[in-house]
Amino acid sequence: MISRRKPASDLFLYAAERMGVPPADCVVIEDSPAGIEAARGAGMRVFAFTGGSHVPRAGVAAALATMRPDAIFDDMRRLPAMLAHANGRSVA
């Protein structure tokens, strides 16, 4: 369905198009530099996730921080509040 893989933005742009959502209204959750680069290239906000068991702990947050994501987090329980904040909604 897409011709180029990350760090090209094709996958994210394809998903946004299929969902009928403008790229600027999308938030991508990523755990790799290539994915962060792809999301940025697509014009999407990106949250870097560092809490996956498949992600080596040593230096991951620092490495992803150099990519300047919109947020860095390590606990998926925080995601609903982060998304609500990103969309300008109050969080109870």
The answer to whether the beta carbons of residues 48 and 59 sit under 8 Å apart is no
DSSP 83: H
Task: Evaluate whether residue 70 is within a structural domain.
Answer: yes
Task: Evaluate whether residue 16 is within a structural domain.
Answer: yes
d(CA 23, CA 40): 10
Q: Within 10 Å of residue 30's Cβ, how many Cβ atoms?
A: 22
What is the Cβ-side half-sphere exposure of residue 3, based on CA atoms within 13 angstroms? 0
Domain total in the chain: 1
DSSP 8: S
* Best mean pLDDT range from 23-37, 58-72, 76-90: 23-37
70 Cβ contact partners less than 8 Å away, ≥ 6 residues apart = 27, 45, 46, 47, 86
d(CA 39, CA 52): 19
CATH code, domain carrying 77: 3.40.50.1000
The pLDDT, as a whole number, for residue 89 is 56
Task: Evaluate whether residue 76 is within a structural domain.
Answer: yes
Task: Evaluate whether residue 50 is within a structural domain.
Answer: yes
Structure-model confidence comparison of residues 27 and 57, the more confident one:
27
Task: Evaluate whether residue 92 is within a structural domain.
Answer: no
Task: Provide the residue range defining the domain that includes 63.
Answer: 10-86
Whether 28 has a pLDDT exceeding 70, the answer reads yes
